[in-house]
Amino acid sequence: MSIESTNPATGDVVDSFEATSDEEREARLERATETFSEWSETPIETRQRLLARAADVLRENTDEYAELMTEEMGKPIGQARDEVAKCAWVCDYYAQNAAQHLQDEVIAGDENARTVVAYQPLGPVLAIMPWNFPFWQVFRFAAPNLAAGNVGLLKHASNVPGCARAIEDVFDRAGFPDGAFTSLLIDSSEIDAVIEDDRIRAVTITGSDAAGRAVAETAGSQLKKSVLELGGSDPFVVLEDAPMEETVETAVQARLINNGQSCIAAKRFVVVDDVYDEFVDRFIDEMAAQTVGDPMDDATDLGPQARPDLMDDLHEQVAETVEQGGELELGGEPMDRDGAYYPPTVITDVPENAPADREELFGPVASLFRVPDEAAAIEKANDTRFGLGASVWTEDLERGERVARQFESGLAFVNELVKSDPRLPFGGVKDSGYGRELAEHGITEFVNTKTIWVQQDAGEETDMIE
């Protein structure tokens, strides 16, 4: 079977690839298992050195990888270059810090015993990854897990097969052993069979909450560890003392980054009454000023949606919200041009329980809510089944931190858009999933946290500090 990738800006076929056959899938699983036996015993210094080399490969081929991402899923080319740089950063981070994160932890216990916590790799880990950040979301899984001594198998989204193959090639060029990181070009219907395979020891997914539930159910039935990074409907809370110029500028960026297709994009803008009208007027003007066009053009702010069917789903959510009483202030119709283009769109007076209130709108659509005060803003921010990120805007930083602590989210930012950073744990709560990626927390998700007790003779004094 052949898999085609299609340029969403033009509708042209970018490339075609042969799907992984059942026989080839079996061979790749077996090779990954054999490689794990070797890789898990490889000194961590060697693993770190190879990760640093992977970072070099990424930087040396930035334009190639950025253009591939833009061709396959439509992100603006400047953002694609930034994505490659961020992938190199996460490789550098674990190349520098993995050994420290995974060093044995000596813990005081019985006075006649030496008690240690060791962090040991689990084995082959399956990663099910989405199309919206086709390099970054793979590398934020791969870098810590390869550093920890696991091996990775990637089931990437079907519309970015070229990215899947290119990422596999990055690790090959960097000198990783064959089987350390393997791409499986398989259909979603084959995922359960891979998860259920005894050689797979854990699974992680970044995707919709529906997909996460299905993966978690299968993994749970096999008693296999899972990490779920799922959808979000992040609130962007604007208080009456917000620095308005900076707030509006960042609000537009937070909504439209990656053509609006980001789990941690600001989607629900919750604004207190005192500054609501000013914010709305400025926000609409800034959204309307964004340049929609060819994602290969550096001047473009907003490119196409990744697939025509995704644009159709988004428009259906917008139309239903308006039909229920939402006020369309800007945009709201697919653009009359080639490609899957949807314009910057703003909806006010969003009715309770309308799609723009309750669902994740995965595209350049902003939902605005007027609230009387801070307490109501927090209540509205938390009035969602999602809990990935949230931000609050205020001149009073102590107030901002107090509000941030009240958000029901895995990430909370004050006077900054929600973003991921290799140095900080990333993940959500509620229907946005569980588990953490990145930082020390991420590298210890898929390891055996093993307690080791070494009993000493009763008369022998144990140095618990050493």
pLDDT at 76: 98
Q: Which residues are bridge partners to 434 per DSSP?
A: 228
Rounded-to-integer distance, Cα 138 and Cα 186, Å: 16
This model's pTM is above 0.75:
yes
Q: Does 244 lie in the same domain as 112?
A: no
Asked if residue 422 is part of any domain, the answer here is no
Rounded-to-integer distance, Cα 203 and Cα 201, Å: 7
Sign, Cα dihedral of 58, 61, 62, 64: negative
Rounded-to-integer distance, Cα 206 and Cα 134, Å: 11
By percentage, how much of the chain surpasses pLDDT 90?
96
pLDDT at 2: 87
Would you place residue 177 in the very low, low, confident or very high pLDDT band (cuts 50, 70, 90)? Answer: very high
Long-range contacts of the stretch 405-413 (C-beta < 8 A, 24+): 406/378, 406/382, 407/235, 407/378, 407/381, 407/382, 408/382, 409/234, 410/436, 411/264, 413/389
pLDDT at 459: 55
- Average pLDDT score over the chain: 97
Q: Does 268 lie in the same domain as 146?
A: no
Q: Does 285 lie in the same domain as 271?
A: yes
Rounded-to-integer distance, Cα 345 and Cα 322, Å: 12
Of 377, 366, 28, 66, nearest to 178 by C-alpha is 28
pLDDT in tens, 250-259: 999 999 999 9
Rounded-to-integer distance, Cα 340 and Cα 307, Å: 6
Asked if residue 355 is part of any domain, the answer here is yes
Would you place residue 462 in the very low, low, confident or very high pLDDT band (cuts 50, 70, 90)? Answer: very low
CATH number for 298: 3.40.309.10
Q: Does 109 lie in the same domain as 256?
A: no
Q: Does 290 lie in the same domain as 383?
A: yes
The mean per-residue pLDDT over the stretch 224-229 comes to: 98
Of 146, 125, 164, 171, nearest to 33 by C-alpha is 125
Rounded-to-integer distance, Cα 103 and Cα 121, Å: 13
pLDDT at 457: 80
Exposed, middle or buried: residue 398 (CB in 10 Å: 0-12, 13-18, 19+)? exposed
Q: Rounded to 5 degrees, what are φ and ψ at 408?
A: -90, 80
Q: Does 218 lie in the same domain as 92?
A: yes
Rounded-to-integer distance, Cα 253 and Cα 99, Å: 36
Give the single-character DSSP code of 65.
H
Asked if residue 203 is part of any domain, the answer here is yes
Helical spans, DSSP H, in 175-272: 191-196, 209-221, 244-256
Rounded-to-integer distance, Cα 337 and Cα 161, Å: 26
Reading the block at residue 160, the tokens are 């970015």
Reading the block at residue 69, the tokens are 């991402």
Asked if residue 32 is part of any domain, the answer here is yes
Reading the block at residue 321, the tokens are 């919200």
Q: Is the pLDDT of residue 465 over 50?
A: no
pLDDT in tens, 75-111: 999 999 999 999 999 999 999 999 999 999 999 888 8
Q: Does 196 lie in the same domain as 260?
A: no
CATH number for 66: 3.40.605.10
Q: Does 226 lie in the same domain as 274?
A: no
Asked if residue 461 is part of any domain, the answer here is no
Residues marked active site are found at: 229, 263
Angle between helix 62-73 and 44-60 (nearest 10): 70
Greater model confidence, 459 or 386 = 386
Q: Does 359 lie in the same domain as 312?
A: yes
The H or E element spanning position 451 is strand 447-455
Asked if residue 458 is part of any domain, the answer here is no
Owning domain of residue 170: 2-230+432-452
The mean per-residue pLDDT over the stretch 116-143 comes to: 98
Long-range contacts of the stretch 249-252 (C-beta < 8 A, 24+): 249/286, 250/393, 250/416, 250/417, 251/279, 251/283, 251/286, 251/366, 252/283, 252/286, 252/287, 252/290
Question: Position 359: which residue type?
Answer: E
pLDDT at 1: 73
Asked if residue 459 is part of any domain, the answer here is no
The mean per-residue pLDDT over the stretch 14-27 comes to: 97
CA torsion 260→156→190→437, rounded to 10°? -80
Q: Does 212 lie in the same domain as 244?
A: no
Q: Which of 414, 441, 461 is the C-terminal boundary of a domain?
A: 414
Would you place residue 276 in the very low, low, confident or very high pLDDT band (cuts 50, 70, 90)? Answer: very high
pLDDT at 108: 86
Rounded-to-integer distance, Cα 137 and Cα 156, Å: 10
Query: Three-state DSSP class for 82?
Result: helix
pLDDT in tens, 179-213: 999 999 999 999 999 999 999 999 999 999 999 99
Q: Which residues contact 221 (CB under 8 A, 6 or more apart)?
A: 196
Residue with tokens 């899984």: 141
**Contact in structure between 357 and 325 (CB atoms under 8 Å):** no
Q: Is the pLDDT of residue 425 over 50?
A: yes
The mean per-residue pLDDT over the stretch 54-60 comes to: 98
Q: Does 330 lie in the same domain as 202?
A: no
Asked if residue 314 is part of any domain, the answer here is yes
Q: What is the DSSP string of 287-303?
A: HHTSPB--TTSTT-SB-
Number of domains in the chain: 2
Would you place residue 458 in the very low, low, confident or very high pLDDT band (cuts 50, 70, 90)? Answer: low
CA distances to 8, 246, 250, 257 from 254, in Å: 22, 12, 6, 6
Q: Does 158 lie in the same domain as 55?
A: yes
Residue with tokens 């270059």: 81
Q: Is the pLDDT of residue 466 over 80?
A: no
Task: Give helix then strand counts, H and E, for the chain.
Answer: 15, 20
